[in-house]
Chain A
Amino acid sequence: MSGSSAVSIRNISKSFGRGASAVRVLDDVSVEIGEREFFTLLGPSGCGKTTLLRLIAGFELADRGVIAIGGQDLTQTPPFRRPVNTVFQSYALFPHLTVEQNVGFALEEQGMARDKIRSRVGEALEMVRMHSFARRRPSELSGGQQQRVALARALAPRPQVLLLDEPLSALDLKLRKEMQIELKQLQAEAGITFLFVTHDQEEALTLSDRVAVMQGGHILQMGPPREIYEAPTHRFVADFIGDINLLEAEALPGDQLRIGQGVTLPMAHGKAGAVTLAIRPERARLTAPGAGTLDATLIHSAYLGTALLHKLELPGGGTFLLRQSEVAQTPLESGSRVGLALPADALRVLDQ
């Protein structure tokens, strides 16, 4: 990210309701989103991600803080004067207008000449491969097609930032995967900053240049998908994204960690007292009993096609998920003793 940021959000707070029943949805949130970045706000429902998007679109006004787009302070600007466009979760296509009228709506509002509108609408529809549907009404289109039209409509006025509010959540899995790829290509093609809101962690990891994980009106962690996945700093982030094993441990002096029954691991942690250890299921390994970090009992193995997912019982109680990619092995029987290797570089010490 260079000095120029497409969207700059500084110390934004927003509450809904008044007096004692007021709910603080965003609490002193600050984000800088770079030019042409695909930035994702990820979090469970109610975490404030959609509110943040609506504040940037101008549908809500912030209680405190500053929102700048392209270096211009737009905190109090009404939505129709902001250089951003939104792709709505429900698409919100105008039912009384045809596809091309929908896509041309913003251009007409700008007072663009008729033939210029036509060529721009054609371009936008070409981009989402919907030009053959120009004369149809939204009700005559499938969900995926409506999604494409909504995209074209938001892209046609060439906004500085495109806001996408869970745009794929209404599509079925297969279509969603297709649209994910198309979205990514579209962003590269259009060269526009995308601000994407989703609760789907896989979607966030697949699409984004950077992800901000939100919870309770705060951004917990922000970074490239790989960093979020591999080096979560919060227990919530680790738990929310992908499968993860969380182990209660005790930080001992001399860079040692104790996991339950006298098993200690050498690891630099810089903490003291009770900590949480996190390890992804695919980073742990099965070994012969006694050869790993600790021993466990196999409860159940599930065949996933490309991998085996083992559910293990730890000696101190609690279960452990282990994903094994080398499927071509003799299957293990439920109840058998196995060794569990936890490589130190795969372990993360988390904030509570």
Chain B
Amino acid sequence: MSASPTLRRLGLLTPALATIGLLVGVPLLLMFWISLLQKGGTSGVDWASVPSGANYLRLVWEEDFDGTMIVNTSYLLILLRSVLQAALTTGLCLLFGLPVALWMAGLGRTQRDIMLLLITIPFWTNLLVRNYAWLIILREDGLVAQTVNAVSPFGPVQLLYNDLAVAIGLTYSFLPFMILPLYTVFEKFDWRLLEAAHDLGATRARALRRVVLPIAGPGILAGSLLVFIPCLGAFVTPALLGGGKTLMLGNIIQMQFGASRNWPFGAALSVVLLALMLIVMTSVALLRNRRAK
């Protein structure tokens, strides 16, 4: 018995399709379904409730005591703050990651390997532990805080439990995601192009702007996405280093599934986050296509 080529191909594809379907498709659909339901008693979801878009409306409007709907900007503000925090982190990662990646690409083989190892070593430790480490570093009686306060012209500075602490923690956590793609670009970079630029009258800064950065563009884009996307959903760092005061989208979602026991609203927030990421990635892809032309 010989199956038709189409059937054979379908058969070969089945394991992959099944894996993606079961592990990605079904959970996504399930979450979207939950986001349309109402919250239930102890289980978090009232499975018998009538599906509606009420949870999405809750992001912007809330019901006043007398039943009228008024605009509630608190969730939108958190959303905005998350985007800004993620953008700030991405910027900081680029600022620190670019010189490191450039420098690493110029090293000898052994030194490069050592640097790569050093950059990957933090991943061997749990994210939670690493954030606790920052908690200790930045706290009031910590060495860093004491040093900063000793030289600060503005009097004592609070390093912990604010947006700065979150930015530091997030930058630390995601820096390798920026360095590695940039390093990959610079490792393949033809340094003779830099000589050519100098030869044609470009100073170091001009050569960086006109030759190095444009060619490193795809790496910068990849690194930025790798930092920005997970940053948007981060919740461990804001919870620990932000002290629960500066909430990000990830914290709200976590709270809905945890303490608040409001799974449908948490699911709605997750769907919004997902949509946001899709928008970012699509626009980046469009931008890249346009530039390639």
Contacts and interface: CB of A to CB of B under 8 A. Distances in A.
A106 B192 contact: no
B211 A92 contact: no
B214 A79 contact: no
Contacts of B203: 78, 80
Nearest to B203: A80
Given A94-B211, A96-B215, A80 B193 contact: no
Nearest to A79: B198
Contacts of A57: 195, 199
Contacts of A110: 201
A90 B192 contact: yes
Interface string B195-231: 1111111110010001100110100000000000000
A92 B195 contact: yes
A240 interface: no
B173 to A, nearest CB: 32
Q: Which of B201, B202, B203 has the most CB of A within 10 A?
A: B201
Contacts of A90: 190, 192
Nearest to B195: A59
A110 B210 CA distance: 14
Nearest to B202: A109
Contacts of B199: 57-59, 79-80, 84-86, 154
A93 B192 CA distance: 9
A57 B198 CA distance: 10
A157 B214 CA distance: 23
What does DSSP make chain B's interface, helix, strand, loop or mixed?
helix
B198 A78 contact: yes
A92 B193 contact: yes
Nearest to B207: A80
Contact size range, A: 20 to 34
A57 B192 CA distance: 13
A191 B201 CA distance: 21
Interface in B104-142: none
A105 B198 CA distance: 11
Contacts of A106: 200-201
A94 B196 contact: yes
A149 to B, nearest CB: 12
A57 B196 CA distance: 10
A80 B198 contact: yes
Nearest to A106: B200
Contacts of B215: 94-96
B200 A88 contact: no
Nearest to B211: A94
Nearest to A57: B199
A96 B291 CA distance: 10
Given A95-B215, A96-B215, A105-B210, A88 B196 contact: yes
A153 interface: yes
A111 to B, nearest CB: 10
Contacts of B217: 96
B192 A109 contact: no
B200 A153 contact: yes
B192 A88 contact: yes
A90 B190 CA distance: 10
B151 to A, nearest CB: 37
A263 to B, nearest CB: 55
Interface string B1-45: 000000000000000000000000000000000000000000000
A96 B197 contact: no
A78 B199 CA distance: 9
A96 B201 contact: no
Contacts of B201: 80-81, 106, 109-110, 157
Nearest to A101: B210
A153 B196 CA distance: 10
Contacts of B197: 94, 105
A94 B193 contact: yes
Contacts of B210: 105
Nearest to A156: B200
Nearest to A109: B201
Nearest to B199: A86
B221 to A, nearest CB: 14
Interface in A66-88: 78-81, 84-86, 88
Interface string A148-174: 000001100100000000000000000
A86 B5 CA distance: 57
A94 B202 CA distance: 13
A57 to B, nearest CB: 6
Contacts of A154: 199-200
A109 B195 contact: no
A135 B97 CA distance: 34
Contacts of A157: 200-201
A110 B201 CA distance: 7
5 contacts: A79-B195, A86-B195, A105-B197, A109-B200, A154-B199
The 6 lowest CB-CB distance pairs between A and B, nearest first, are A106-B200, A109-B201, A92-B196, A79-B198, A92-B192, A96-B214
Given A79-B195, A86-B196, A105-B210, 10 more contacts: A78-B203, A80-B198, A80-B200, A85-B200, A86-B199, A92-B195, A92-B196, A94-B211, A94-B215, A109-B200
